[in-house]
Amino acid sequence: MGQLLEHLVLDVDPPFLGEEHRLLRKSVREFAERFVAPRAREIDVRNEYPRDILGLLAGQGILGMRVPVEYGGSGLDSVSVAVVMEELARASGSVALIAAIQGGMAVAPILLAGSEEQKRRYLPRLVGGEQVGAFALTEPCCGSDAAGLEMRAERAGDGYVLNGRKTYITQGLQADVVVTFARTGGREDRHRGITAFIVENDGCIEATPLETMGFRGTGTAELRYENCHVSPGNRLGGEGEGFRIAMYTLDDGRIGAAAVALGLARAALEEAYQWSLGRTAFGRPIHQFQAVRFQIVDMAVKLQTMKTLTYTAARLRDTGDPRYVWMASAAKLHTAIAANEIAATAVRILGGLGYVKESVSERVYRDAKLLEIGEGTNEIQRWIMGKMLYGELSI
């Protein structure tokens, strides 16, 4: 894959990235180029979950990046997490998404609202890759309108019984543990009636695979819960606190999503740049044509703005600045749009090669589309940011 951008001094890290972050980038890049990149096309074409890579990620501490050391994690800061996610996505968007769910979305609710017993019981096994985790919020009825979800959690004896459906759940096919959001109040209660649960899949969850356009091999599924019994000890937080837990997890996850977009876009740009050096037309390399060169320049500028927004959001979170919520949405929105634009341009520059499975840009082109949908659509990001801008939502 090469280090094209660094060699040309076209890729500038924010000044607050320290030596430890640069060493981390080097280490993860070497790991990704050795173990992940060679498998990227296979994972995409076969659409098979790479369970062996989950173990490799665990061995590198990548599944426990945000988890404290006492629970088996690495305890990294947000900037470090962004570095790792960028480098993984540069090699494979699918593997990056697996790491984001297993080491982020599935563990963040437990870190935020879990009891000490819940943390010690579940975090080490998720961090070690012994169990596969998932985050189940979206339903067939409700995506962006998460407060309208319909899944019920009814009191039964000393626990709860869950019935309903969740959809578009990454790792749903493999999940042993599913952080699930269900309604304990009435529909009229909206967000105040939602509670979070840690559901162990003992056979009460039926998973149906979903054939996705991009991010293939990630076990995306629709889940049907049929009389799933959950003990009181597996409720996360109190009744009615589920929506807050979900929103906190999504706020944090948007920084990771932006870093994934950054890594995908970087891979597409590097391929297009390399192609422009070696491909000739009308007797000269195509980079000598202004039409191609200007497109490469525009892609590089977009990549740099993506990096600045992403790492600024991560830095704000690390310093405890509440404005990170705004910046996380800004980063998620901009990087999703820019990654799609960069991928589309790369496909055009590669021509026929960009339209076949052998090219990285073809895969990135399909992967990037999800970034405008998952973890809050572009429109939801604008809605959140608009409410903050007009003082209708405090941070």
271 is catalytic: no
Res 191: pLDDT: 86
Note down the domain range covering 190.
133-239
User: What is this structure's pTM?
Assistant: 0.95
Query: Which pLDDT score is estimated for 4?
Result: 57
| Residue 111, phi then psi, degrees to nearest 5 | -65, -40
Q: For the chain, what is the mean pLDDT?
A: 94
Q: Does residue 170 share a domain with residue 122?
A: no
Question: Does residue 10 surpass a pLDDT of 60?
Answer: no
Last residue of a domain, one of 239, 266, 301: 239
Task: Give the C-alpha distances (Å, rounded to integers) separating 356 from 218, 348, 353.
Answer: 21, 12, 6
- Residue 291 pLDDT more than 70? yes
Q: What total number of domains does the chain contain?
A: 3
Beta bridge mates, 154:
161
- Domain of 145: which CATH number? 2.40.110.10
* Claim to verify: residue 278 and residue 231 sit in the same structural domain: no
In a domain, 394, yes or no: no
Percent of the chain residues past pLDDT 90, beyond the cut? 91
Name residues whose C-beta falls within 8 Å of residue 394's C-beta, 6 or more positions apart in sequence.
none
Q: Are residues 248 and 380 in the same domain?
A: yes
Considering 221, 239, 257, which residue would you say is the last residue of a domain?
A: 239
In a domain, 27, yes or no: yes
Q: Are residues 255 and 309 in the same domain?
A: yes
Does residue 395 form part of some domain? no
380 and 271, same structural domain?
yes
Residues 234 and 294 in one domain: no
Please compute the mean of the pLDDT values over residues 97-122 and round it to a whole number.
97
CA–CA dist 133, 246 (Å, integer): 15
Residues 38 and 118 occupy one common structural domain? yes
Contact 339, 264 (CB under 8 A): yes
In a domain, 267, yes or no: yes
Is 91 domain-assigned? yes
Do 82 and 52 sit in the same domain of this protein? yes
Query: pLDDT grade, residue 2 (50/70/90)?
Result: very low
Same domain, 77 and 94: yes
| pLDDT for the residue numbered 1 | 45
Of 127, 155, 190, which residue is a domain's last? 127
- The burial class, CB within 10 Å (0-12 / 13-18 / 19+), for 6 is exposed
Choose, from 130, 358, 375, 392, the residue flagged as catalytic.
375
Same domain, 284 and 228: no
**Is the domain of 293 the same as that of 379?**
yes
Structure-token pair, residue 193: 């009636």
